[in-house]
Structure formats: C-alpha cells, structure tokens
Structure 1
Amino acid sequence: MDMMVAGLLMALLFVILGSGLWIGLALVAVAAVGMEFFTQRPAGDSMALTMWGHMSSWTLTALPLFLWMGEILFRTRLAKDMFSGLAPWLNRLPGRLLHTNVIGCGIFAAVSGSSAATCATIGKITLPELKKRGYPDDIAIGTLAGAGTLGLLIPPSIIMIVYGVASNVSIAKLFVAGVIPGILLALLFMGYIVVWSLRHPGRIPAADTAMRFVDKVKAARHLIPVVLLIGAVLGSIYTGIATATEAAALGVAGSLALAAAEGSLTWRSFREGLVAGARVYCMIGIILAGAAFLTLAMGFIGLPRHLAEWIGSLGLSPAMLLVLLVAFFILLGCFLDGISMVVLTMAVLLPTVEAAGFDLIWFGIFIVLVVELAQITPPVGFNLFVLQSLTKRQITDIARTTMPLFLLMLLAIALIYLFPGLVTWLPSQM
C-alpha cells in the first residue's frame, strides 16, 4: 500500500514537472498532497517547520557565498586572459592547445563550482580561438563538454554542498575528497587528447613560436592572483583553519579585492554579480526546501524503509547496486538537472547505501561523478545545451563528440570503486 501511494505521488510529480511548474514548487505541492491525504500529520505545520529548519541551516550559507564568488570572478579579466596565459605552456604537449579546454575548465571549476558556468565561460574563450588556429571542431567541442563537468567535482562544488546538507556529512571533507578524483578525471581527459593527437597528427596545427620562460610567466601573470586566491580558499579548508562557510566568505572578499585591483569592479558589476548569485541561490534554495518537505512526507508514508527492504531483498552485491545506481542516475539525467537529482533521491537512497556498507563521503564523490555523466546525457544534458547555444550545432552531433569522454567518466567511477582510497585518503588526514 505504501509503495502504491509513493508511486502515485511520483507520477503526480512528473505530471506537475511536465506542466512547466518550477521544480521547487512542484516538490512542495506533491509533499502537501501526500501529507494531507495519506498521513495523520498536519500538512501546514509540517511544511513550515521542515522548510524553515532546513533553510536556516548554518552549513547552507556556504552555497550563496561560493555562488557570489564565482559571479564576481566571472566579471573580471580572468576569462579574457586565460587562453593567452595557458597557451605558451602547452606547445610541446601532443594536442597542444586542445589541453586549454581541460586546464581552463579545471581552473575555472575551482572558481565557479558550476558545470554549466564552467562550460559556457571556457567555451566562449577557447572554441573561437581553437577554430581560428585550425583545430578540428569535433575534438574541441567534445573535450570541452567533458571537461566542463569538472565544475561539479573540483571544489568548491555546489553539488557537494547540496549533498553534504542532504546527507549530513562534512562539506569540508567532501571538498577534500574531490581533489584526487578531480585531478584523475582531468588527467584522463588530457590522456585522451594526447592519444587522439598521436593517432591524427595531421589534424593538429603546428606549434607556435617558442617563447622564453620569462615571457611565458609574463603571459600568465593575470592567472597568478586567481590561482593564489583559490589556493587560499581551499587551503584554509584543508588545513582546518576555516570552515567551508568561512572559506567562502574569504573567497568573496578576495574576489572583490582582485576585481578592484584589475579595475573591473564597478557599482554595476558588483550589483550584477550579487543579483545573479542571489537568483541562482533562490532557485536552488526553493528546490532544497521543497525536497526536504517531500522527504518528510515520504518518510511518514514509509517509502524509504520499504524501498530499502525491497532492494535488500534482491540480494545485490555492492558492485551490482552501484551499477544499478549509475543506470538510474543516467536515466534521471535525461529529465532533471543535477541538483534536482541529488535532492530528490538522497533521502530514499542513503539508508540503502549505508546498509550496503558504503562510506557516505565516498558515496558523495560517486554521486558527483554520476551526476557529471548526466550533464552530457541527451536529451537534457545541461552541458550539451550550453554547447549547442555556443556552436549552433545539432545536439545529437555534440552528444556524439562527447561519447569518448562519457566512457572515460565511467572508467573513473570504476577506478574509485576498485581503489576507494583515491577518495577517502585525503579526508582521513584531516
């Protein structure tokens, strides 16, 4: 009976989502129906207490601050100068300037925490420049789509903050846990570029004129302050000097100082960055609050317990459980964005995951990797939409060029399963 009610509510949720209503409001509506008609708890009181308690969490304050930090730096000269700063260092590497997609996304991921923002920002810089220099469109677009997902894995990550709040685990440890897998994934992407370049040497333009070391450093001078700021923010977390929220506040102050020093901080840019960050946070906040209320409703109906019992009755090994979860999240990625996927599923999945013996920090990185896969899963892969708007190409063509990167992400998931220390070693040192 409980499973039937839960199924009806899920069907209602998809109908409401299909109507175009905001995701957060759709979650609240379905939860209210469940509480009112299928439990003994008053729906109004439960909604007010749950949503207020969830949104007043001190841990959650790190999210709007990191969003604001990314918006501030987005409006500095970082985007303009990134390509010219990185390019001289890559001339002797097979694939040459194609690596700017991966390195640029890795750097900006540590600023923005957003996959779509990373993909859009780096794409605006690298794609026109690579095309002008004669690099093939397919490999340039494919590597950008894959590397853009690093915005979810390399801290500070919005998805990690959302998962940490939903699962009640340390956000600082999640940030630390994402470092090695983020580097691993970036190296896999760069390795793919190297192999592709060696197999197609005639499609890679000749190297630029060699530059002296001093000239390379001079070209990269605009990146140095941003790299130092990122190091200060993440270093304060890793060393235990600051919490995630305090580090985010440090990042905002540092990004404002950097923008002022570069002459790009004006009242207009300050206001636009603040409004953009607030707009994104409000969208995420409504989703989180609605998901918290839906989680409560599902708990009273009994879905998490029955689902855990059902999955447990299947007798799945931990490996098979993860395979099913990968398939499940890839399917969800065809319909929902990453944040919605996390907040809609964690309350239901976490009891089962804990019963299977998985460490919640490790599982958080696993979830981030799987959500990354969903970012390039048609028809609703956010990175695919971003690249479609940048390149005006068919989304099926873009999806085809990203398939090798998709397979490399699956390889990364297999590696962290076989070698969990890739995720858990750094957090255990804190």
Structure 2
Amino acid sequence: MTEIYAITLFLIVLFFLLGTGVWVGLALMGVAWVGMELFTTRPVGDAMITTIWASSSSWTLTALPLFVWMGEILYRTRLSQDMFRGLSPWLAKLPGGLVHTNIVGCTVFAAVSGSSAATLTTVGKMSIPELRARNYPEKMIIGTLAGAATLGLMIPPSLALIVYGVTVNESITKLFFAGVMPGLLLALMFMGYVAITSKLSKDWNPDVETDMSFADKLRNSRFLLPVFALISVVIGSMYLGFATATEAAAIGVIGSLTLALFQGSLNWHSFRESLMGAMRTSAMIALILAGAAFLKLSMGFTGLPRALADGIAAMELSRFELLMALLVFYIVLGMFLDGISSVVLTMAVVEPMVRGAGIDLIWFGIFVVVVVEMAQITPPIGFNLFVLQGMTNHEMGYITKAALPMFAIMVFMVFVLIWFPEVATWLPENLRGAPV
C-alpha cells in the first residue's frame, strides 16, 4: 500500500507542477522534495544540495555543453548550403530524387550536432525552398524532414545518449558507437520509403534535373570535405582511442570554430550567439538532470523502484513483453514530454527492471532513443512538429499526417533492434577506443 500511495502522490505533484508551467527540472525537484519530507527523516536541504552537486560535477557531463556548442557554431555557418550543393548532384538520379537530400543532409549534420531541432532547422532552411522550387510533393518534403531530423538524437554526438549514459552510469563512447549502425540503418529505411513512394505515387512529378558530368559532381563534392573532415576527426579520435567523448567534444568545438572562420561566418556576433545558445540549452538539460538525480534519491528512500521492479518480475513477463510494455509507455509519455525529459524522468524506475530482466544497458539506450525519437514527431508536444510549423506555416494536423509514415518506420526499427540486437551491440563490443 505504501508504494501505491507513493506513486499516486508523486504523479499528482508532478502533473500539478508541470500543468502550472513550472520548468521540468524544478518540477522534478519539487516532487523529490515532497517525497523526502513524507518518507524520510533526513534533512531535505542537505540531501538536495549534495545530490545536485554530485550530478552536476561529473567529468563525463562536460561533453554535453561542448557538443551543444559545436552544433550551435555550425548552425550559424553556410553548412546547409554547402551540403545541398555537394549532395544534390549525386542524389538527383536516385528514385525519389532530391528528397534524399533531406535524409542524407540530416544524417550528415546529426553527426556534428547532436540536436534534433538544430538538425531540422539547419537542413530545412535550405532544402525546403529548393525542393518546393523543383515541384516535389509538399507532404514528402515535410515528412522526410520531420523523420530524418530525429537522427540527431541517435547518431553521435547525441545529446540524448550523453544524458542516458550519465543517468545510468554507462560509457558515453560505447553508447555513441552503439548508435552509429542503427542511425544509418534508419536513414536507409527512410530513403527506401522515399524511393518506393516515388514509383507508386501519382502526384510525384518533380522538375527534371540538368545532367551533370562526373567531373562536375566531383568538383561540387569539395563543399562536403570540411564537414566530413570534422566528422572523421571527432568520431575517429574516439574510435582509435586518442580521445574520450569529452576530449572529442573539445576537438569538435575547435574544428567547428576553424570551419566557421574559413567560411567567413565567424564574427563576434555569431560567436556570442553560439555561446549563449549553447549555455541556454546546456543549463536547461543540466537542471533536468539535477532534478532527476534528486528524484531518484527520493524514490530510493520510498523503495518504489525496487518494489515496481519486483512487481514486474512477479508478473513473469518475457523480455519481449517487457519491451513492448516499455515501447507503449514511452510513446504515450512522449506525447507530453520531450525526449531528454522522458529519459531522465523514468530511468530511476525503469533501470532496475531492465537490469533485472538481463537486458544490456548499452542496447537498451539505443532502444530508448529510437522510441523517444518518435516523441519529436507525435502531437501534442512533438518539438519537430512545432519547428516545421514555424518554417512552413502549415496546420499542425497537416504536418502530423506528413510525418506519420516516418513514425511507422521508427516503430519497425524498434522490432529490428529486438530481432537483431547486434545492430546496436556489435560496434561497441569491438570498440578499441577510450572507455568513457
């Protein structure tokens, strides 16, 4: 009965605080405070200060603001224009044509950003006008952007994977490499959907692209060299063991500043704006993590996580049944919370269940990220939907319908991960790089 009372109390306080507009991080601290006052005799203020300091002073967490800053710097460069000029000659003749630039462009930028919103904005501001001018179907333009931009949560350097790794105390580097193959496979699934639709749809009638010689294609490819060099340095330094995730993030910041300088887009205004943008995003995530750490401590005193884990174990669910329950749970939760908030809010309860079921936490991190990717394109709180609404001026219902096929592909990706776990585990198991 105590556990039921605690769950009810936590949920009432949490939804009350969130419903009144309190920031997620502060709402989590409020819930934890109530739990500590009611279920423990420990001084709450002392416990809160100690827990917040411990969660905020992690060396691994240093990678977060650095990768955010790297993405903010690149967002203010001509990267999107250069990517379109470099990719379009090679992709124009594929089934589906230049719509593939949305997917490949998001995949490339995801490898230097880590943010879904930054990926969507950077690629979309260039590709939407270009694809519209070439008479590509509007729903396909919007749908592929909404879906492919979520790859920013999967492909390293992923902010969601950093937050997950810090929360469950797993290697950030291994999580990064676990996300590489699933991210690329998901991008290929999106491209396959575009190719099939282009052959079956009666509305697919874009303007014919001018043929370009192989030499001209190679010349245009020079615009891709800077970003591919940056990806190679950041990811390669981790894989070869030259740098940890945090050190690779510092390398990425230096590389992105250098790239912006050579492009002529680095000035005092852009530098200041990138720094302030990174500070705002990092502070927001750090506050959520601090609140989640305090909530985890509070829930530990109630015995709630262990009681729930024992309850799930008593139900004797198979591994597949447990994963299906978590899939539905995170999809529903994602309708009301962003991906990072969903991860930190639930791990205190979900982690013991997953460990008890013998599920590899590196693999589970990829499972969770794929599911919270769906939260970016599910109403009413899907953040990518709001970004696209601001960029295209379409109704939310129109954008949601356009993104629905991408949502279905992500659901299918979850089953691929369950059927073939090696997609996520092979690379980190053969990792030669640094352990953190």
**Normalised-by-shorter TM-score class:** over 0.9
Q: 1:80: Cα distance to partner? A: 2.5
Structure 1 residues 270-279 or 218-227, which shifts more? 218-227
Matched residue, 2:17: 16
Query: In structure 2, do the counterparts of structure 1 residues 2 and 41 end up closer, same or farther at CA, with 3 Å as the change threshold?
Result: farther
* Partners of 2:120 and 2:145 within 8 A in 1: yes
Matched residue, 2:265: 264
* Partners of 2:363 and 2:425 within 8 A in 1: yes
Matched residue, 1:166: 167
Cα distance in 2, alignment partners of residues 69 and 202 from structure 1: 40
Q: 1:359: Cα distance to partner? A: 0.3
* Partners of 1:96 and 1:207 within 8 A in 2: no
Cα distance in 2, alignment partners of residues 405 and 307 from structure 1: 33
Q: Deviations over 1:185-213 (max 9, x none)?
A: 00000000000011126623243111122
Matched residue, 1:79: 80
Matched residue, 2:420: 419
Matched residue, 2:434: none
* Partners of 1:176 and 1:426 within 8 A in 2: yes
Q: Deviations over 1:14-42 (max 9, x none)?
A: 11001001111111111111112221211
* Partners of 2:85 and 2:223 within 8 A in 1: no
* Partners of 2:137 and 2:203 within 8 A in 1: no
The number of equivalent residue pairs is: 430
Q: Deviations over 1:44-98 (max 9, x none)?
A: 1100110001100000000000000001111111022222221111121011001
Q: 1:2: Cα distance to partner? A: 2.7
Cα distance in 2, alignment partners of residues 156 and 204 from structure 1: 37
The TM-score with structure 2 as length reference comes to: 0.97
Q: Tell me, yes or no, if structure 1 residue 47 matches structure 2 residue 48.
A: yes
* Partners of 1:173 and 1:427 within 8 A in 2: yes
Which structure 1 segments of 5+ residues have no match? Answer: none
Cα distance in 2, alignment partners of residues 420 and 2 from structure 1: 34
> Helix, strand or coil: the match of 2:222?
coil
Matched residue, 1:224: 225
* Partners of 2:163 and 2:344 within 8 A in 1: yes
* Partners of 1:154 and 1:179 within 8 A in 2: yes
Matched residue, 1:275: 276
Structure 1 residues 181-190 or 205-214, which shifts more? 205-214
Q: Tell me, yes or no, if structure 1 residue 210 matches structure 2 residue 211.
A: yes
| Structure 1 segment 6-405 matched on structure 2, within 5 A | 6-200=7-201, 203-405=204-406
Q: 1:397: Cα distance to partner? A: 1.4
* Partners of 2:110 and 2:119 within 8 A in 1: yes
* Partners of 2:367 and 2:414 within 8 A in 1: yes
Cα distance in 2, alignment partners of residues 134 and 43 from structure 1: 61
* Partners of 1:92 and 1:207 within 8 A in 2: no
Letter in 2 for 1:253: I
Letter in 2 for 1:190: M
* Partners of 1:6 and 1:301 within 8 A in 2: no
Cα distance in 1, alignment partners of residues 223 and 207 from structure 2: 26
Cα distance in 1, alignment partners of residues 56 and 87 from structure 2: 40
* Partners of 1:115 and 1:148 within 8 A in 2: yes
Cα distance in 2, alignment partners of residues 277 and 86 from structure 1: 28
The two structures, once aligned, show a CA RMSD in angstroms of 1.1
Cα distance in 1, alignment partners of residues 218 and 12 from structure 2: 57
Q: Deviations over 1:331-389 (max 9, x none)?
A: 11111111100000011101100111110000000000000111111111111111111
Q: Percent identity?
A: 58
Which structure 2 segments of 5+ residues have no match? Answer: 432-436
Q: 1:176: Cα distance to partner? A: 0.4
Structure 1 residues 5-14 or 347-356, which shifts more? 5-14
Q: Deviations over 1:180-239 (max 9, x none)?
A: 000100000000000001112662324311112221222232221111111110011112
Letter in 2 for 1:49: T
* Partners of 1:95 and 1:193 within 8 A in 2: yes
> Helix, strand or coil: the match of 2:394?
coil
Structure 1 residues 122-131 or 92-101, which shifts more? 122-131
Q: Deviations over 1:215-271 (max 9, x none)?
A: 122223222111111111001111211100000000001111111111111111111
* Partners of 1:6 and 1:298 within 8 A in 2: no
